[in-house]
Chain A
Amino acid sequence: MADHHPQLHHDAHGAHASVGLYWIFAVILCVITFCEWLIFKQRENFGISNTVLIAALLTLSLVKFAMVCGWYMHLRYDNKILTKIFVVAMIMSALTFLVVGVCVQH
């Protein structure tokens, strides 16, 4: 249960991550960004194909995205309706993106 997690801080405003956890995430975010830069710089040396490059960079980017939204924006601990608003907006935005892309291709 999240309420008993040692990395959570509780106060009058509900549960959220502790300062230590925020710093751990900061280091992870920096390491991921460094990895993205490294993959980009070394793509030719390692013979990374475009498909692998896109998959790797998108995955790393999504991990950063989820960490900021989940912990720094407190979606993980907040009322679930806020997560629903955000997820629905992201899905509809992605669908608009795809429809525009498909329309332009044709």
Chain B
Amino acid sequence: MSETGHAHSVTGVDNRKFGMWVLIGSECFLFGTLIANYLINRGRGLSGPKPQEVFAIDVTTLSTFDLLMSSVAMVLALHYCKTKELRKFQLWTATVVLGGLIFLGFQYHEFSTFVLHDGLGFSTNIFGSSFFLLTGCHGLHVSVGVLWMGSILMHSLIKGNSWFNHDIVEVAGLYWHFVDVIWIIIFTVVYLFVYV
């Protein structure tokens, strides 16, 4: 049993942490399939805009910086949770939530520009369908992460020093970093390979 009273699996790893890694493993398949689907279909659109005509790499680079920095904030939040420094933990957890919200703002800006300015919707062509499916699925994962970290922040604000559950923060952190790792791949393969 861990100090928070949760059982370990036969591997010696906390069950929730082990479960999160299994989930991450299965999510690799999901995103691997979605990225393959995008790469296969991105150039097959019979009508409508092409990737080269709509992508704004400068803006996407900024959103990548933002997500990377939120990952740094996440690892610092976990560190200060372990050292039981409440204010610093709350500050960095709030930074993670803010970073996630800014990323979602960037995504909203990108999607609305595509739809309203470039005329690229989900059903415009197969590039649009595969692009929105992939990045929308990632955005959905970011949204879940923001809600999760937001709930952790609320718990710590309400319960104060009596709430220091590093196991929960670590599992949430694993999820958040995984979302970041997936974006690292999407940024390179989807955006930077646009002319390849």
A residues sitting closer than 8 Å to B (CB atoms) are: 9, 11-13, 16, 19, 22-23, 25-26, 29-30, 33, 36-37, 40-41, 43, 50, 53-54, 57-58, 60-61, 64-65, 68-69, 71-73, 78-79, 81-82, 85-86, 88-90, 92-94, 96-97, 100-101, 104
Contact = CB atoms under 8 A, between A and B. Distances in A.
Contact of B75 (A54, A72, A101, A104): A72
19 contacts: A22-B79, A30-B69, A33-B65, A37-B58, A54-B193, A58-B188, A61-B185, A65-B181, A72-B72, A72-B75, A73-B178, A85-B24, A86-B24, A93-B28, A93-B29, A93-B32, A100-B36, A101-B39, A101-B40
Given A37-B57, A68-B184, A89-B29, 20 more contacts: A13-B166, A22-B79, A29-B68, A29-B72, A30-B69, A33-B65, A36-B187, A43-B195, A53-B196, A57-B193, A61-B188, A64-B68, A64-B184, A68-B180, A72-B177, A78-B13, A96-B29, A96-B33, A97-B32, A97-B33
Interface string B69-87: 1011011100100110000
A30 B66 CA distance: 10
A72 to B, nearest CB: 5
Interface size classification for chain B: 35 or more
Contacts of A22: 72, 75-76, 79
A12 B3 contact: yes
B68 A30 contact: yes
A72 B184 contact: no
A81 B13 contact: yes
A41 to B, nearest CB: 8
B68 A89 contact: no
